[in-house]
Amino acid sequence: MEQELAEKMGPLRQAVTEAAQRVLEAMCFADVTGAEGEDPGGDAFGVEVRFHGSENGLFRMWMNDAVACRLAADFLGLEEAGPEEGRQVALELANMICGSAVSHLSRSGALRLDPPRACAGTAPEGATRLALDAGVVAVTLDEFEGAEKHP
């Protein structure tokens, strides 16, 4: 099954899809119902994490405020969460998804993640769109060619 998924999606996309599922299910108790959802919606915002070391690249994630608030409430154990809490939790989720995906790609190498931050733009066509009960989360993972690599 894992090999089938890798052949179909490519290793980077498979790694980030599986990492997003792991993080959303473990930390937010979210039920990821599919990996081919629709766009996150008009008010979607983006967050990004750059990583350096044995792998170099950029992780990005998009979701709308409603999804962020739902995930934040579940993450923090609250009945409801506001947009600010939603954005804060989205940053932490991005950090975890990126770290988890890249660690799986390179388990023996050194790795450093920059602090997560907001990013402009919308999810590109090639992004993985994860369907949750609360809406859609889109993610991408891109490696930089020719970047400095450390042993």
Partner 1 sequence: MSISVLVVDDSSAMRAFIRRVFMLSGVEIAEYHQAGNGKEALSVLEGHWVDLILTDINMPVMDGEEFLARLRQDELYKDIPVIVVSTDGTEHRMQRLIALGAKDYVSKPFAPETLRSGVERVLGV
The residues of the shown chain that bind partner 1, judged by CB under 8 A, are 22-23, 26-27, 54, 72, 75-77, 85, 88-89, 91-92, 95-96, 98-100, 103-104, 106-113, 115
- By C-beta, is 39 or 92 nearer to partner 1? 92
**Residue 83: closest CA among 92, 71, 95, 93:** 71
Q: How far is the CB of 35 from partner 1 (least distance, A)?
A: 18
Tell me which residue has tokens 């994490």: 49
Q: How far is the CB of 151 from partner 1 (least distance, A)?
A: 9
- By C-beta, is 54 or 122 nearer to partner 1? 54
CB 88 within 8 A of CB 78: no
- Up-side HSE of residue 147: CA atoms within 13 Å toward CB? 14
Q: How far is the CB of 2 from partner 1 (least distance, A)?
A: 18
- By C-beta, is 25 or 133 nearer to partner 1? 25
Residue 81, Ramachandran bin (φ over 0: left; ψ between -120 and 50: alpha; else beta): beta
